[in-house]
Amino acid sequence: MTQSTELWVDRNNYRNTRIVNATLAAPGQGEVLVAIDRFGLTSNNVSYALSGDMIGYWGYYPAEGDWGKVPVWGCANVVASNCADVPVGERLWGFFPMASHAILRPGKVREDQFVDISEHRKALPTLYNGYRRTRAEPAFLQSMEVERCLLFPLFATSFVIYDYLVDNDFFGAQQVLIGSVSSKTGFGLAQMLHDDPQVTRRVIGLTSPGNVAFVERLGCCDELVTYGNEAKIDTAVPTVYVDMSGDTKLQSVLHNLLGTNMVASESVGATHWEARGATGDLPGARPQFFFAPSQIGKRETDWGPGVVMMKAMMASAEVAKKVQGDLAVEWIRGADTLASAWSELLDNKVSPDRGLMVSLL
């Protein structure tokens, strides 16, 4: 029997949390028990909560009643196994709950990965069911566990957006606006566009005054515009807007400024999640939610299985190496401290140069 600690979140009021201590039984036939010794905490996890019902994030690790377990990206060790193909001692990276332990059911086991085939996961997006067996990976990846937890999932999304824009020839746009460019997914996208010599579009980042210095240090944008100064944007050229903020008022301002020159409008994140609301009909391209698995599925067909995610991992590693000196990693230990950090994220009080790593063991 194993004692576990979890942080549950009220699905109707994200600021209401509950620390749950439970006794886990030994893994059943075909299952493994993992001890999660580290996971990253970013605004991406807030986005998982916000879209938990729409996409199914609450379903990966079900909780009771109106409570939910927000999924995170982390590393874990297999500490008990009833699965012959995944023995005790395996090191894993993947999608876990905000918890000290979890039960997985490995299937489709390969040397470097497996898929959780639990019955309750079958109807959920398959992208999040894969777990890397990291000891079969190159040493440079094994040495980047913190970056993988904090940055790789976000930068992988950055890569898929980057690839989507390139794949669609930027919808004819001459510039790319990135809302909340100080977010990790935002500056990851900006960096990938900036580093591609074949991308000639201007990259314009939107951010708050307090985050300007941070983004300037990264050097990933051709221009920075602070909120409230959107009129400075060149509205005479076709433009793509990639929104990491979820601020529908900002979205409306930009659409009305650009009119028919807003040739694509992709909603990705929700760093300003409380600024969401109805916008009604807007001029220009109709805003749409960017669903990364759709582009991944297309590239699986174009390039073959696994190629797109390997490209995303390598691109993530490149950007992560560039920003290592610009992020201060902070370790959070204990469920009470995690609950406080979660509240900070909800209130948008975690500055972009902070990287929050958590352990509940």
E strand spans, the chain: 2-10, 13-24, 32-41, 67-68, 71-81, 91-97, 101-104, 106-107, 113-116, 130-133, 175-179, 202-207, 223-226, 239-243, 262-267, 288-289, 328-333, 354-359
What's the CA gap between 270 and 243, in Å, rounded? 8
* Number of domains forming the structure of the chain: 2
pLDDT digits (tens, 9 = 90+) for 24-46: 889 999 999 999 999 999 988 98
Domain boundary among 279, 294, 309: 294
Residues 230 and 288 in one domain: yes
Residue 290 in 3-state DSSP? coil
Query: Quick one: CA dihedral 129, 135, 141, 147, positive or negative?
Result: positive
Closest listed residue to residue 225, CA positions, set 238, 241, 209? 209
Q: Is 79 contained in some domain? A: yes
Domain that holds residue 217: 153-294
310 lies in a domain? Answer: no
Do 281 and 340 lie in a common domain? no
Residues 246 and 274 in one domain: yes
Residue 273's contacts (CB-CB under 8 Å, 6 or more residues apart) are: 46, 47, 50, 246, 346
Q: Are residues 54 and 167 in the same domain?
A: no
332 and 355 co-located in one domain: yes
Domain presence at residue 146: yes
Q: Same domain for 255 and 167?
A: yes
Query: What's the pLDDT score for residue 280?
Result: 60
Let me know whether 190 and 146 are in one domain.
no
Let me know whether 289 and 157 are in one domain.
yes
165 assigned to some structural domain: yes
Contact 180, 206 (CB under 8 A): yes
Q: Does residue 302 belong to any structural domain of this protein?
A: no
Query: 156 near 309, Cβ under 8 Å?
Result: yes
**pLDDT tens column, 280-292:** 688 999 999 888 8
Contact 350, 332 (CB under 8 A): no
DSSP string, 115-138: EE--GGGTTS-GGGGEEEEGGGS-
CATH number of the domain where residue 275 is located:
3.40.50.720
Per-residue pLDDT of the chain (361 residues; tens, 9 = 90+): 799 999 999 999 999 999 999 998 899 999 999 999 999 999 889 889 988 888 899 999 999 999 999 999 999 999 999 999 999 999 999 999 999 999 999 999 999 999 999 999 999 988 899 999 999 988 888 899 999 999 988 899 999 999 999 999 999 999 999 999 998 899 999 999 999 999 999 999 999 999 999 999 999 999 999 999 999 999 999 999 999 877 888 999 999 999 999 999 998 865 544 445 445 688 999 999 888 888 999 999 999 988 998 899 889 989 988 888 888 999 999 999 999 999 999 988 888 888 999 999 9
DSSP 84: T
Full-model pTM? 0.84
CATH number of the structural domain spanning residue 139: 3.90.180.10
